[in-house]
Amino acid sequence: MKNQVIVITGAGSGLGASLAKKYSEIGAHICLLGRTENKLKVIGRELPNNYSIHTVDISKLSDVKRVFDSITQTYGQIDLLFNNAGVGSFDLAEELSEEDIHNMIDTNLKGTIFCSQEVLKQMKKQNSGTIVNIVSTAGLIGKATESVYCASKFGVKGFTESLVVELTGTPISVFAAYMGGMNTDFWSGIFDQDKTSKMMNPVDIAEIIMDNIKPRKNIAIPEIIIKNVK
């Protein structure tokens, strides 16, 4: 991965930040994408190698186009995209606000689609690349108080599986990671510290994903499922 260009959405914390640190350690250039510049700057200062900061709202196609155009014009390539950004609001279905519903569908599903569309244009030109969609086990099974969050993640699952079919026979690979809850800021205000402390460590998840997307002769791994120990 040395000198490769890696784009990570939702890079300001959690799994995105862990992936950024791990790939930076092996010499990749990391493009940190997120809504909050200060959070990205904090992560950037922790990286041992080159990085760049790109503030973006992935729910807006025009904003996604602006950022991805800037990255490709500056660095000439994008070798790996992590569609990692995600938001969640959890309540009974009838209690979710219109804003919450739009936010989850727009960020989790549309954001993944928009970023994938833009990176695919570049990857097809360079005839190489990998897209990794961070989906969550909420994309595999329905859960109480997570109806719309699950709906957004089920949508990402369908989109991912369709991309795999579309890109069969090309040098571009697509990978889905379905994992349970991680001990990150995502759950701030939702679960207490006692519960989050028993969740998976995002550093562990980053290492598992990195190991599974390594190119191997005559092997394709389209997805993995990572669960918490009950």
Catalytic positions: 149
| Sheet order of strands, 223-226 included | 51-55, 29-34, 5-9, 80-83, 129-134, 172-179, 223-226
Distance, CA of 50 to chain centre: 20
Task: Show Cβ contacts of residue 61 under 8 Å, excluding neighbours closer than 6 positions.
Answer: 114
Backbone φ, ψ for residue 124 (5° rounding): -70, -35
For residue 103, the cross-strand partners are: none
| CA dist 154 → 14, 26, 105, 141, 223 (Å) | 22, 33, 11, 8, 14
Interior CA angle at 113 toward 162 and 170, to 5°? 45
Q: How far apart are CA 84 and CA 219, in angstroms?
A: 24
Q: Which two tokens stand for residue 37?
A: 């510049």
